[in-house]
Structure 1
Amino acid sequence: MHSRLRALDAEQGYFLTRDALALGYTAASFYRAKRAGQVVPIRHGTYALPDSWARLTEAQRHLVRLRASLERATARHVASHTSAVLLHTEGHWGLDLSHVHLTNPLRRAERRESGLTHHRATLPEEHVTEVGGLPTVVPARAAVELSTLVDTERTLVVMDSLRREGRTTKPELDAMIATACAWPGTLHTALAGRLASPLSGSVGESRTMYAFFRGGVPARCSSTRCTTGAGSSPSSTSGGPSTASRVSSTGWPSTAATCGPASRQRTRSSARRPGRIPSASCSVADSSATPGATWTIGTG
């Protein structure tokens, strides 16, 4: 394989058929190289070297296909929907990464081809930004666009991640949700926006909080004060006498901000049972009860 093609693959993760032809390959010789497994087709007219392609994750492969698609597209195309989400955050779960999504306001209609979906939409100037040299929609719009493709849980995971990483704010997200209220497929978008919180510490925690919501667990503050079953507060990571922490998706407390003083107790028995780890009582804010009420969350 030509050294220039190897350099292109190392630099951007792909090369185009026209790059190979410009270096002296004929259509027949390049086809023989493909048949021999020396290059891997990643989409129409776009190739990569097999060893480097095999090392990439699915998200990284999606971004490589996105760069190649934008290089072949017109100047008005921008990354949107799932592709824009991957540019803005790594905090996502269960997304279909097989298709690159591009939006062009000048298109007459939406179109879907192998590995690429073209969208048509009005794109105000303030809705477009640039990430790593690639034009894309802003984070708030990316999350709302994603909600037209996936369910509430997957949308919530992305909204939590964007807010946690400081990519967007609640006012920006609320304004974008209001703008998209008439878009097809956005009936559940406002719900995800109301549930979104920057205090969910991970993808797993966002999914856990959504499971609590679906299970009818009363609304609570995302930050909780946790103590051991014996009543002693765990020490903080900064060495303080006590800590305010929240329960992670694994059932163990992690350092966080306090939710407020507990004003009444609702605790289960913390007696040790054979083969069980002592439970932890957590002060939570409940919309249907006095803020700061204490729950006991067991790990068994």
Structure 2
Amino acid sequence: MASIKEIRTHIKSVEQTLKITNAMYLISSSNLRKARKQLNDVEPYFQKIDATICDILHHSPEIRHCYFDKREHIPAAQRKAGYIVITADKGLAGAYNHNVLKLAEAAMAKSAQPTLFLVGQVGRAYFTQKDVTIDGEFLYTAQDPTLFRAQEISDIMLRLFQQGMLDDVYMIFTEMESPLHMVPKKYKLLPLDEHNFPQWKNTSDSRYQQTVSYVPSPDAVLSHIVPGYVKGMIFGGLVESYCSEQNARMQAMDSSTKNAKELLKQLSLVYNRARQSAITQEITEVVGGAQASLQS
């Protein structure tokens, strides 16, 4: 059995760990609420962009815009695909980083010419260790998802797509479907797919019964608002990943806190037994010494 001093040291160590895990839980909870509020505040703006694109597709179904060009003439073996992989900047978040990295590896393995863009230090360390070429990094974004950072990423992706350096652009992130269910997903950003705007086919919608004209042209309007749509999707992916990370860390810290409390109960029991044994031994020694004195 360990000595009383060793058990007391172990108890103090677990108590310190318990304070840390509890503090990390509270911090992640606060960060999660702030991120959700940030996304909800800007959501109406991006919903309006989505509705405008639907409206243009309804009134101009014959339009052929570069952002909707699927470049079907390019065979699969020659298509250049860009992957924006969003991970965290640190661990202690359960399987959050592992799941999104495995999905990214599987997706890139199916692409003939993948181009990798990373958000998050965990992904950077992982792919560097795997000797995978990293074509672009967006530092200090995972822990601070903002519209400005989303704008930077979307500008680069749109430019590479327009220049023909990328034929497809995907975003791999984690979506928090519920507090207990977080799912890594692959979303295609470019080219845009009409099936992502199903409302435009609904001819009974009262919004589409009126005559609408776009100045100077529907094509020009799309060129102006599609970058905003892509920025919104990237910002949504960044915030969803950040929320998933915080939620995963909350679950991990909650589990660690419960384990620490259980360990403290066990250590307290062992400590009390050890102290009781020591006291019993001291009493026995005192009684034995007294008896020896009387006999002498």
Identify whether the pair has TM-score above 0.5, normalized to the shorter chain. Answer: no
Q: Which has the higher contact order (CA 8 A, sep 6+)?
A: 2
Q: TM-score, normalised by structure 1?
A: 0.21
State which structure, 1 or 2, has the greater radius of gyration over its C-alpha atoms.
2
Q: Which has the higher helix share?
A: 2
